[in-house]
Amino acid sequence: MSLLEIDDLRVAFPGRGLRAKPVEVLHGVSLDVAEGETVGLVGESGSGKTTIGRAVLGLVKPSGGSIRFGGQEIGGIQGRARRSLARDIQVVFQDPYTSLNPSLTIGDILAEPLIVQGATAKDARSRVRTLLDQVGLPGDSVDRMPREFSGGQRQRVAIARALAPRPTLIVCDEPVSALDLSTQARVMDLFVDIQRETGVAYLFISHDLSVIRHISHRVAVLYRGDLVETGDAPSITSTPTHPYTQKLLLAAPVADPRKQQQRRAERERLTAASSA
């Protein structure tokens, strides 16, 4: 049984203006995530990636289909049932500068979810030390404020906060997109190490196929609210069958300028073919 089973998920937002019809942005998406697995969700801006993540987190109500977690239907459930799930499904967002409360110390940011769950102050302190260690931050970070950290370090704090309640699934929405390339690589390695240690599964959202290729076991390609291709990461990211994935692949940066030129030509050929 999969940890997360999304089946024929539809989401519609209210249309603008009087008597406007709702606008459907997900048209029946089906996607599974197994325990300990990383599923990369890739697609261009506006394709609906974040909306899928928000539906899984219970932040948008599906207009159709189902979302099961550990076999239990969670699409649209609220209140106490949702809160008990809340610790099992955590999230890391894109923006390291707005996702941490600027007026709390790192120690308080990490201890808060533990105390809410009923941990004693002493247990919370020792767990916070373990978490900091796990994400590669020094122990004296507990007394410091978010503004004293770089973007990459803040993402480490955000990852530690997500790990605090020992979730089985983390929705990662563009968690490395705001970081420079070398920081990006180190934070991705951290995600991989943590998964190895804890067995946590990731629904890993990115518009960047080179990030997705690096981190995912399986990849799902979203195009305007539909999944157009799903498969294991090596085959999707090297020999995609759908024209849209082929275009995404050609848009991913390469170091070799000659290869880049070849790709540009190939991309233009595909664009010409699809608009013909």
Ligand X SMILES: Nc1ncnc2c1ncn2[C@@H]1O[C@H](COP(=O)(O)OP(=O)(O)OP(=O)(O)O)[C@@H](O)[C@H]1O
Query: Using CB under 6 A as the criterion, which residues of the chain lie in contact with ligand X when the complex forms?
Result: 13, 25, 43, 45-51, 207
Nearer to ligand X, 48 or 175 (CB): 48
Contacts to Mg ion by CB under 5 A:
50
What single-letter DSSP state applies at residue 20?
P
CA 18 centroid distance within chain: 35
Partner interacting with residue 45 (select from Mg ion, ligand X, none; CB below 5-8 Å by kind):
ligand X
Cα separation, 173 vs 248, in Å, equals: 18
Nearer to ligand X, 48 or 107 (CB): 48
User: What Cα–Cα distance (Å) separates residue 68 from each residue in 31, 82, 116, 202, 264?
Assistant: 11, 12, 25, 15, 41
Instruction: Supply 103's token pair.
Output: 């007026």
Hey, is 203 helix, strand or coil? strand
User: What Cα–Cα distance (Å) separates residue 101 from each residue in 90, 105, 148, 242?
Assistant: 17, 9, 13, 42
Partner interacting with residue 13 (select from ligand X, Mg ion, none; CB below 5-8 Å by kind):
ligand X
Instruction: Supply 134's token pair.
Output: 């796990």
Q: Are strands 72-73 and 89-92 parallel, antiparallel or unpaired?
A: unpaired
CB of 53 to Mg ion, least distance (A): 8
Cα separation, 170 vs 265, in Å, equals: 38
CB of 235 to ligand X, least distance (A): 23
- For residue 148, the one-letter residue type is E
Partner interacting with residue 195 (select from ligand X, Mg ion, none; CB below 5-8 Å by kind):
none
Nearer to ligand X, 22 or 139 (CB): 22
Partner interacting with residue 90 (select from Mg ion, ligand X, none; CB below 5-8 Å by kind):
none
CB of 174 to Mg ion, least distance (A): 6
Cα separation, 196 vs 14, in Å, equals: 41
CB of 54 to ligand X, least distance (A): 7
Hey, is 136 helix, strand or coil? coil
Nearer to ligand X, 50 or 210 (CB): 50
CB of 107 to ligand X, least distance (A): 31
Nearer to ligand X, 50 or 153 (CB): 50
Nearer to ligand X, 49 or 217 (CB): 49
Nearer to ligand X, 160 or 227 (CB): 227
Which residues fall within 8 angstroms of residue 32, CB to CB, at 6 or more apart?
2, 4, 5, 6, 39
CB of 95 to ligand X, least distance (A): 11
CB of 115 to ligand X, least distance (A): 31
Rg (CA), the chain: 20
